[in-house]
Structure 1
């Protein structure tokens, strides 16, 4: 059946298009999850549990930097005193499936963006449709940068804090597999989605729901929220909190700049 024009599509037609978007996206995730299955040893031993080892890149990097700057040796991590244990009969099987699906979602994200673009493109002008490749490329790059930020910054700092914090020497840290996977999942997805803020602001500005003045007005509140988030996911020291907060503040500033460019372009077109 030929695809209808936007003006000819009923509400049910839009629902049908949305249904197929979800179906194709789900199939893409499942395909990538199956591919990940064949490299599951690397996925789990090297990637997933990499931040649990003192030899992890982030720990070594900050240790080398501390030596170079001649600051506190406490930044160097020689041991992470905790173990990860499975407490459920099917816990490892369930975690294996969910981690493969998570990896499948991350790897198929550009295709999911392509499907979303196809869904919303009938409502766009011809000159806006020409930016499809640029939109998908920039959105994918921002998402992957956010995932890397979550993996190399948020996860190791969070693990370092919870692994070394103790209320008493009597209490030993034994984390469940589910809680550890939850930390990884939340960190990488939150990082990836937060880095999409400039794209979200772009579309909200196009729709007239957000302005640069609005973003600038509430800048101080955004800074407070970002600092609170940084304080939650990092050890209680200024260096760690700053390392997490600076990229997030830069993303917010980039969002304000993008909003300004959109408004300026709209004024030129209307003027």
Structure 2
């Protein structure tokens, strides 16, 4: 005679293993998508790096140039940049795989939020990267060149150090532009209210300047370039939460949970 507890334990273990197998398959599919895009772009890796380096090259003094201090840097740095671009391009596929994995555990009203959430998050992240590339980079490099001129110092940088800097900036501004999404989600989940978000505004402003001081170069203008958009986007998130987040009725929640 079989033990019910033993059978239940075996069923739970099988379910856990099946989830792990599905997670592995989703990760593999996402990885394949990135690799396929990377293979399609790898021929143009030097051109992609030149495009990434353009904001710096345009603001270097006459005859200024980038240098390579690592023997393999001239090969691997463009490959890293190309992989980054491939990941950004394939990000919708990666997000879809994440969505497909977690969707079975979501309520119907939560599933309806996923598509606009993914599209808006991806779009805002790209906007943050574009803002960094077209506005922040030229401004910072122009300011740095201005500081170097009186010192008589030659402004050059290693391509690997430059890559680390731009990746940090892309990530910082990409995440910064996600602030409205985070604010709306916090209100939607009931963690915070619009009134509470307004009350903590002074702390957010101070936090924005602290974050910008850590991430950006140590000059006031560069810090303002990150802190001001962060504050503006926080305010935009409050407006969006007030306009688009409606408190669901208990009856609607219970009917959707039953489904």
TM-score, structure 2 normalization: 0.76
Residues 80-120 of structure 1: CA distance to partner in whole angstroms, max 9, x if unpaired?
78532111111122212211111111111222221222122
Instruction: Considering fraction of residues, name the structure with more helix.
Output: 2
Task: State yes or no: 1:233 paired with 2:216.
Answer: yes
Query: Could you say if the C-alpha distance between residues 116 and 233 of structure 1 is closer, same or farther in structure 2, counting changes exceeding 3 Å?
Result: same
2:139 to 136, 157, 163: 157
Contact 2:68 / 2:158 at 8 angstroms: preserved in 1?
Answer: yes
What is the CA distance between 1:8 and its match in structure 2? Answer: 10
1:92 to 50, 69, 74: 74
Mean Cα deviation higher: 14-23 or 260-269: 260-269
Give the secondary-structure state (helix, strand or coil) at the position aligned to 1:264. coil
Contact 2:41 / 2:86 at 8 angstroms: preserved in 1?
Answer: yes
In the alignment, what sits opposite 2:53? Answer: 49
In the alignment, what sits opposite 1:249? Answer: 231
In the alignment, what sits opposite 2:6? Answer: none
Give the secondary-structure state (helix, strand or coil) at the position aligned to 1:164. helix
Mean Cα deviation higher: 19-28 or 139-148: 19-28
Query: Could you say if the C-alpha distance between residues 252 and 82 of structure 1 is closer, same or farther in structure 2, counting changes exceeding 3 Å?
Result: farther
Distance (Å, rounded) in 2 between the aligned partners of 1:215 and 1:89: 51
Query: Could you say if the C-alpha distance between residues 197 and 18 of structure 1 is closer, same or farther in structure 2, counting changes exceeding 3 Å?
Result: farther
In the alignment, what sits opposite 2:93? Answer: 111
- Count, aligned residues: 241
Distance (Å, rounded) in 1 between the aligned partners of 2:116 and 2:14: 27
What is the CA distance between 1:148 and its match in structure 2? Answer: 0.6
Contact 1:158 / 1:235 at 8 angstroms: preserved in 2?
Answer: no
Contact 2:61 / 2:155 at 8 angstroms: preserved in 1?
Answer: no
Residues 179-219 of structure 1: CA distance to partner in whole angstroms, max 9, x if unpaired?
10111111112222222233334444444444434433322
1:199 to 181, 184, 189: 181
In the alignment, what sits opposite 2:7? Answer: none
Name stretches of at least 5 consecutive residues in structure 2 with no aligned partner.
1-11, 255-259
Distance (Å, rounded) in 2 between the aligned partners of 1:99 and 1:15: 31
In the alignment, what sits opposite 2:4? Answer: none
Query: Could you say if the C-alpha distance between residues 242 and 87 of structure 1 is closer, same or farther in structure 2, counting changes exceeding 3 Å?
Result: closer
1:102 to 84, 87, 104: 84
1:24 to 29, 33, 36: 29
Query: Could you say if the C-alpha distance between residues 216 and 17 of structure 1 is closer, same or farther in structure 2, counting changes exceeding 3 Å?
Result: farther
Equivalent positions of 1:139-154 (< 5 A) are 139-154=121-136
Give the secondary-structure state (helix, strand or coil) at the position aligned to 2:151. coil
Contact 2:136 / 2:225 at 8 angstroms: preserved in 1?
Answer: no
Name stretches of at least 5 consecutive residues in structure 1 with no aligned partner.
1-6, 55-76
Contact 1:198 / 1:251 at 8 angstroms: preserved in 2?
Answer: yes
Query: Could you say if the C-alpha distance between residues 158 and 9 of structure 1 is closer, same or farther in structure 2, counting changes exceeding 3 Å?
Result: farther
Task: State yes or no: 1:175 paired with 2:179.
Answer: no
Superposition RMSD in Å: 3.3
Give the secondary-structure state (helix, strand or coil) at the position aligned to 2:65. strand
TM-score, structure 1 normalization: 0.73
Query: Could you say if the C-alpha distance between residues 206 and 117 of structure 1 is closer, same or farther in structure 2, counting changes exceeding 3 Å?
Result: farther
Whichever of the two has the greater Rg, that structure is: 2
